[in-house]
A and B are shown apart, each in its own frame.
Chain A
Amino acid sequence: MKRILIALVALGIFTSLEAQEEIVLSGDELFGDLRARHIGPALMSGRVIDLEGHPTNDRIVYVGSAGGGVWKSTNGGASFQPIFDDYVQSIGKVKLDPKDPDNVIWVGTGEIWTRNSVSVGDGLYKSIDGGVNWKKMGFDKSERISSIEIHPENTNIMYVGVLGALWSDSEERGVYKSEDGGQTWNKVLYIDQTTGCGDVIMDPNDPNTLYASMWEFRRTGWSFNSGGTKSALYKSTDGGKTWNKIHNGFPTGKLGRIAVAVAPSDSNILYAVLETQDENKRGLYKSSDAGKSWTHLNSDFGLVVRPFYFSRIVIDPKNPDVVVKAGLFGSISRDGGKTFKGLGNMHADIHDILFDIKNSDRMYVGTDGGVYRTWDGGTTMEIVANLPISQFYQISVDNNEPYNVYGGLQDNGSWYGPSSSPGGVEARDWNVVGYGDGFRVLKHPSKPILYSEMQGAENVWRYDMETMSTKTVQPLQTKGEEKLRFNWNAPMAVSEAQPDRFYMGSQYLHRSEDMGGTWEVISPDLTTNNKAKQNQEDSGGISKDNSGAENHCTVFTIAESPLNENVIWVGTDDGNIQVTKDGGKSWTNTTANLPANVPDNTWVYHIEASVHGEGTAYAVLEGHTTGDMNPYAFKTTDYGQTWKSITTDQIYGFARNIQEDYVNEDLLFLGTEFGLYITVDGGKNWNQFTNNMPPVAVHFVDLQKKTNDIVMGTHGRGVIIIDDISPLRGITQEVLAKDVHFFESEPAIIEETSPFGGTATEMEFVGSNGSNDVKITYYLKKKHIFGKMNMEVQDESGRTLTEITPGKSKGINVVTWNGLIRPPKLAKGKSFAFGGFTSPRMPAGTYKVVMQKGKDTYETSVTLVNDPKSNITQEERKANQEAVIKLYNMSEQLAYMVYQIDEILAKAEEVKANGGSKSADAVIKELNDLKETLVVTTGDNYVASAEPQLRGKLANLYSKIASGFQAPSASELDNLKLLEERYEKARNDFSYIQSKRVPKMEKFMEGKGMTQIEFKSFEEFIDE
């Protein structure tokens, strides 16, 4: 646990405190139970890198995801749970100890299918308790670990393949060996700082025999190279001491990435997939002599496609002729690699395949869109529906209630869905609004229109959310213009000042005043226009790979000032921060004003134009595509004439995005490669937010203005929300010095929507909802451990309405009250009257909240308000409440009457036993007759239930009316009248028996010296 201390400085207002020592709090002391919630989605899931099975228990399966951590299934892949949430979420390899697979798990971090948008890892981790706790085991600078192999008999002997840094030279590459269970490591195969280990595998029948594929590769922001003279396939037969190339049968010339596998059932059979210069020599090679010689078998598209992305081949553990190759669609051969057919229909981009240990017809497949299962050898595929590892590039929110979240996903289109939904945010709640790789999705500020895009602005759609019609509206090259250069992740922006205005950035800034119908270029080329970085058709290395993902010297971020529509900021991927103060007539490049420690051409990832000043803005720069992993965030208050760094060394990893608070200028949220950081003092101190927030790459942070929710687009864990961060606005030294401090509570709207919802099965991911309940938020100076601490809601007269359980954490506690009080106490019966489980709702108004902590009492108040959108009148509400109270009271009075009847009956039986049949028999008969009309005395709670009597009928009507808000219907009122009459009759009957029959019995009792009947008071009865 990182223990970053934060000094929360007073804002200069509380001079009396200045001399005192500052109160310092770490993140887990300050954030208390402000807690993130995840809404997925999981319906299209996200990129999976590696699958790992258990050697003997086929119920257990592990998934290593590209950006969403490690997930474990204990039910044969039916559903998964995350088990690596405190650590870096980008995974290269998961491996179980062969001797203790239930407990010992190894995780190599850093994804290894090296597309442009990959996240980074930070080393090797080990768990010795099945994934509950983890320990770092070195390789801090490895960035990407491709393989882990463990000696089956002596598990202290291990090998790790380090692919290493993607964007820079690194000496932490190659094959490493440990002979002490990972305590120390020796590099046993190293080529050079550009060549990493793509794979190291162990012959399952001879642990001294190893095969290692070495790969020369490099990415920059504008190109990719796979292959060179140093890529090769090696073999060692002496436990890694010596290595020899095994290329007999391979073509000469440069090689690229190589996949290799040895058949578990026959150590002589190997398959390798080669990326070669000669197009005709690419694809599948097979050896039947443990690598001494190779035969080229197949160059089908599925075997040669994008080696950097798909270099994995998996052999059926039982049959060496059954081979599955990762690829765009995935291919399977059942004739030893001679011919292949496609796998069944699933998400494209297959990265790994796992065979079930017992039944080879059962397989798991990891794709860019999650994990799929097959029961028929790959012919038909079914998605795992609870892996919310979706990878957002961008998100935005609207102002609906509940608000929607919009965003685009890596290889998974563009989407929008609600932040809350009845029963939770499910797959069915999400709407798809674009193909391909999705990036930004922006809602028109006032109309039911949204804009979405696919990679490189190949298409930009204007989507009508009511008619679901689309129109493509991207700016295209016009006469006199250079070819437009759009980033893979092309920037778009809308304007709050002019709702129909829409911006896009190529190398220019384009502005439309008619929602993309017509465009005007309002800038010169704002980039460095470095021609050396614009040769994308040459990208890829020995296999051409010109997807558009490497387009460079482009505009990447656009921000119009919310205070002045003529102030527009533009940031470019090649390091320029440009600003115009006249709506684009003139531009100033402010890059030179950045502090000197920022390397030239560092990617300007995000600019946030502030609401706190026209000249105020934040810029987040990042240089990870040059190997620079430092965070850069700057603030200007003078239109970029000066930029001041607001980061500290408390931040781990590079940052991509910043969000300011709209109220407190010093409250900022920074999205980094390893999670979310928060400052409450303008950047003097930063704290990582870890409450249900994994250190996942946060690509975009937004703040919903009405709810004060922080909404994050993460690249690996979907959309993550922190509800209502407003308490952080009030964190001051004065607050921190108090034992207890209540923050102002916003009035809560009483929700009138139906409770219906929830169609997901238990195997599907369901995002948790935010709470609409009234929030009681307070700061505790110290965690409460000893003595009573409780909280109750009271009406204005001080009468207790309900008890709620207070939070007891040091820091911020959030307790909610749903506006309900206890249900009526019902008469004792033989079965339940289910209507009696309904809690009555308190009407709109102000309520006291009283917290008792030891001997101290603290008080605050909360307010419930009716939904302003509701069309229910005050009179109707009043009629509802009156009926509810009437039925509630009648039910409790009935309960008391039945209690009295039971007491008298008990006594009457006693009298009878004492020879008083004469006076007792009539009492017993008449009371039992009466009781049978009041409560059921037979039956069960299901289909053997008895016909309800007065208790059940009262409870039934009560529940119907109390569950709603409207005035009772005419039918309900008629029914109420009927029940009132029955109730009155019962009362009269009971009075009659009490006055006419019981006195005789009492006289008998007196004569016998028996104790008289004594009733608890109504209040005592209710409170017991």
Chain B
Amino acid sequence: MRKFQLLFAAFAVITLSYASAQDVTVDEIIDGYFESTGGKDAWRNLKGMKISAKVNQGGMEIPLEIVQLADGKQYTKITFQGMEIKQGVFDGETMWSTNFQSMKAEKADTETTENSKLDMNDFPDSFLDYKDKGYTAELLGTETIDGAETYKVKLTKEPRMLDGKEVEDVSFYYFDAESFVPLAVDQEIKAGPQAGAIGRSTMSDYQEVEGLYFPFSMTQGIKDGPSQPLMIESIEVNPEIDAAAFAFPAEQASPTGN
């Protein structure tokens, strides 16, 4: 808690110096963000995280375990009535999920998998050493998000494929003008009936875990529309995860077996 307060005092100092300088640059904002949340070195040293979270759907709490590792491996595990269902599992080569009907693992389509490979360098944050990744960031101006003044930054990553056509990968981050932490991210929805609409994620309840600050409350939805909250209960940094947890199961038990 003391650490938190110290860091908070640091924000205030940054704020004062930047607020007086009207011409803040995009890199000052991004640097400020990492400075506020633990420092770039600490982020670079992060090897992985395991997030325990829950989403609430109409009164039903769905517990999630989200694992992301620095080498791009990831999974989301849902536990229901004692059964474990994995979604968005990626071992660096194969992307797969558990089918809800058969409860067996199924591979994602090739395009989805290839797009996931593009995200392997985004741990822990797309903005960390973004120039080395070939990304560009551009400060577009200021905007009020939920009543807070923010800097709007456009992030352009590698183009992705969508239904056989190449599309740009652009997102818009809103960094709090006082603390430089991101409060929201907008991204145009590219597929499905809502293609063309703007998807918005929001972040709040930043809290410290071993020197790093993470948002413990997030929402995901349509800008100006309904959204789904995600409540994070705990974050474990640098967890030990068996590589088998990411691998596509070689042989699966038949539905009538066991």
Q: Is A867 an interface residue (CB 8 A)?
A: no
B-side residues, CB < 8 A to A, are 4, 8, 56, 58-61, 80-83, 100-103, 140, 142-148, 154, 165, 167-168, 170, 172, 176, 179, 181, 183, 186, 188-190, 192-198, 204-207, 216-217, 219, 224-226, 229, 231, 255-258
**Is A786's CB under 8 angstroms from B179's CB?**
yes
A33 to B146, CA, bound (A): 8
Q: Determine if B224 and A35 form an interchain contact, defined as CB atoms under 8 angstroms apart.
A: yes
Give the residue name and chain of the B residue nearest to A939 (CB).
B255
Across the two chains, which residue of chain A brings its CB closest to B218? A805
CB-CB under 8 A from B197, the residues of chain A are 81-82
Contact B207 A808 (CB under 8 A): no
**Are the C-beta atoms of B101 and A818 separated by less than 8 Å?**
no
If A29-B147, A783-B148 touch, whether A692 touches B196 (CB-CB below 8 Å) is no
Beta-carbon contact of B147 and A940 below 8 Å: no
A28-B144 CB under 8 A given contacts A839-B58, A941-B101: yes
* A820 interface residue (CB < 8 Å to B): yes
Interface size for A (C-beta < 8 A) is 74
Bitwise interface map of A from 282 to 315 toward B, beta carbon under 8 Å scored 1, else 0? 0000000000000000000000000000000000
User: Is there contact, CB below 8 Å, between B188 and A805?
Assistant: no
Contacting pair B81 A944 (CB below 8 A): no
| Contact indicator A829/B81 (Cβ below 8 Å) | yes
Q: Is the CB of B168 within 8 A of A822?
A: no
**Chain B nearest Cβ from A384, distance in angstroms:** 12
Alpha-carbon gap, A217 to B17, bound state (A): 57
Q: Known A768-B226, A785-B183; judge A940-B102 contact (CB<8 A).
A: yes
B196 contacts A941, CB within 8 Å? no
Query: What are some 12 contacts across the A-B interface (CB < 8 A)?
Result: A73-B196, A132-B186, A762-B193, A789-B217, A805-B56, A805-B219, A810-B148, A811-B146, A823-B60, A826-B81, A831-B83, A942-B102
Q: How far is the CB of A646 from chain B (nearest CB, A)?
A: 26
A81 — which chain B residues lie within 8 A by C-beta? 189, 194-197
Closest 7 CB pairs of A and B: A810-B147, A828-B82, A820-B59, A81-B196, A839-B59, A809-B146, A805-B229
Q: Which of B102, B145, B148, B186 has the most CB of A within 10 A?
A: B148
Chain B nearest Cβ from A53, distance in angstroms: 15
For B147, the closest partner residue in chain A by CB is A810
**Which of B140, B195, B231 is most buried by chain A, counting CB atoms within 10 A of its CB?**
B195
Residue among B60, B168, B216 with max Cβ neighbours from chain A (10 Å)? B60
Contact check, A789 vs B58: say whether CB atoms are below 8 A apart: no
Q: Give bound CA distance, A828 to B205, whole Å.
A: 34
Are B205 and A833 touching (Cβ within 8 A)?
no
In the assembled complex, which residues on chain B have CB atoms less than 8 Å from the CB atom of A823? Answer: 59-60
B219 surroundings in chain A (CB, below 8 A): 805
Given that A785-B204, A810-B147 are known contacts, is A839 also in contact with B181, CB under 8 Å in the complex?
no
Q: Which of A72, A785, A789, A941 has the most CB of B within 10 A?
A: A785
Considering the chains assembled together, what is the distance between the CA atoms of A916 and B212 in angstroms? 51
Pair B59/A941 contact, Cβ less than 8 Å: no
How distant is the Cα of A493 from the Cα of B190 in the complex, in angstroms?
47
Smallest CB separation, A64 vs chain B (Å): 15
A residues apposed to B, CB below 8 Å: 1, 26, 28-29, 32-33, 35, 57, 71-75, 78-83, 85, 102-103, 129-133, 386, 691-692, 762-763, 768, 780, 782-790, 802-805, 808-811, 818, 820-823, 826-833, 836-837, 839, 937-942, 944
Q: Which of A785, A788, A828 contacts B181 (CB 8 A)?
A: A785
Q: Is the CB of A940 within 8 A of B101?
A: yes
A802 to B54, alpha carbons, bound, how many Å?
13
Q: Shortest Cβ distance from A842 into chain B, in angstroms?
A: 10
Q: Known contacts A783-B148, A810-B147, A837-B60; is A763 also within 8 Å of B193 by CB?
A: yes
Q: Given the complex of chains A and B, what is the CA–CA distance between A810 and B144 in angstroms?
A: 10
Q: Which of A780, A809, A820 contacts B58 (CB 8 A)?
A: A820
User: Do A822 and B61 touch (CB < 8 A)?
Assistant: yes
- Contact check, B81 vs A802: say whether CB atoms are below 8 A apart: no
Q: Is the CB of B82 within 8 A of A827?
A: yes
Distance A26 CA – B103 CA, assembled complex (angstroms): 51
- Chain B residues whose C-beta falls within 8 Å of the C-beta of A782 in the assembled complex: 147-148
> CB within 8 A of B144: which of A1, A79, A788, A822?
A1
Contacts of A942 in B (CB 8 A): 101-102
A78 / chain B contacts, CB cutoff of 8 Å: 193
Contact check, A818 vs B205: say whether CB atoms are below 8 A apart.
no
Tell me how far the C-beta of A931 lies from the nearest C-beta in chain B, rounded to whole angstroms: 13
Given A28-B147, A836-B81, A940-B103: A786 touches B58 (CB 8 Å cut-off): no
Inter-chain pairs besides A808-B217, A837-B60, 6 sampled, C-beta below 8 Å: A28-B144, A72-B196, A802-B59, A805-B231, A822-B60, A939-B256
Q: Is the Cβ of B205 less than 8 Å from the Cβ of A787?
A: yes
Taking the closest CB of chain B, its distance from the CB of A760, in whole angstroms, is: 11
**How far does the alpha carbon of A790 sit from the alpha carbon of B233 in the complex, in Å?**
11
Residues in B with CB closer than 8 Å to A29 are 144, 147
Chain B residues with Cβ under 8 A from A35's Cβ? 224
In the complex with contacts A132-B172, A941-B102, A783-B205 CB distance below 8 A: no
B205 to A832, Cβ gap below 8 A?
A: no
Contact A74-B190, Cβ < 8 Å, known A28-B144, A821-B59, A938-B256: yes
Q: By the criterion CB–CB under 8 Å, are A832 and B83 in contact?
A: yes
Once A81-B195, A691-B224 are accepted as A-B contacts, the answer to whether A26 and B144 lie under 8 Å apart by CB is yes
A818 touches B60 (CB 8 A): no
Kindly list chain A residues whose C-beta atoms are within 8 Å of the C-beta of B59: 802, 818, 820-823, 839
**Contact partners of B146 in chain A: CB under 8 A:** 32-33, 783, 808-811
CA distance A94 to B82 in the complex (A): 55
Q: Which chain A residues border B165 with CB–CB below 8 Å?
A: 57
List of B residues within 8 angstroms of A692 by Cβ: 224-225
Q: Which residue of A lies closest to B225 (CB)?
A: A692
CB distance from B214 to the nearest CB of A (A): 11
Which of chain A's residues have a CB closer than 8 A to the CB of B60? Answer: 822-823, 837, 839
Q: Given the complex of chains A and B, what is the CA–CA distance between A820 and B60 in angstroms?
A: 8
CB distance from B67 to the nearest CB of A (A): 19
Report the Cα distance A85→B196, complex, angstroms. Answer: 12
Q: List chain A residues, Cβ under 8 A from B217.
A: 789, 805, 808
- Find out whether the CB atom of B204 lies under 8 angstroms from the CB atom of A789: yes
**CB nearest to B190 among chain A residues:** A74
Q: Given A74-B195, A81-B196, A132-B170, does the pair A785, B148 have CB atoms closer than 8 Å?
A: yes
Q: How far is the CA of A803 from the CA of B232 in the complex (A)?
A: 13
**A693 and chain B: residue at smallest CB distance:** B224
Q: Which chain A positions have C-beta within 8 A of B207? A: 786-788
Question: Is there an interface contact between B82 and A786, defined as CB atoms closer than 8 Å?
Answer: no
- Residue B195 contacts which of A32, A75, A822, A940 (CB distance < 8 angstroms)? A75
Q: Which residue of A lies closest to B183 (CB)?
A: A785
Tell me if B193 and A783 are in contact (CB < 8 A).
Answer: no
Q: How far is the CA of A317 from the CA of B183 in the complex (A)?
A: 47
Q: Which residue of B lies closest to A80 (CB)?
A: B196
Closest residue on chain B to residue A79 by CB atoms: B193
- CB proximity of B21 to chain A, nearest CB, Å: 20
B56 contacts across to A, CB distance below 8 A:
802-805
- What is the bound-complex CA distance between A822 and B257, given in angstroms? 32
Interface centre among A28, A787, A831, A944 (most CB of B within 10 A): A787
| Residues of chain A with a CB closer than 8 A to B142's CB | 1
Q: Which of chain A's residues has its CB closest to B171's CB?
A: A132
C-alpha gap A26/B4 in the complex (Å): 31
B-side contacts of A74, CB under 8 Å: 190, 195-196
With the chains together, A810 CA to B204 CA distance in Å?
A: 13
B103 near A941 with CB under 8 A, answer yes
Q: Pick from B56, B146, B217, B226 the residue with the most CB of A within 10 Å.
A: B146
Q: B147, A809: Cβ atoms under 8 Å?
A: yes
* Residues A129 and B183 in contact, CB atoms below 8 Å apart: no
Instruction: Point out the residues of chain B lying under 8 angstroms from A763, CB to CB.
Output: 193
CB distance from B201 to the nearest CB of A (A): 14
Known: A784-B205, A802-B59, A831-B103. A938 touches B144 (CB 8 A): no
Are A790 and B195 neighbours in the complex by a CB distance under 8 Å?
no
Cβ–Cβ contact B257 & A938, under 8 A: yes
A941–B81 alpha-carbon span in the complex (Å): 12
By a CB distance below 8 angstroms, the chain B residues around A787 are 4, 205-207
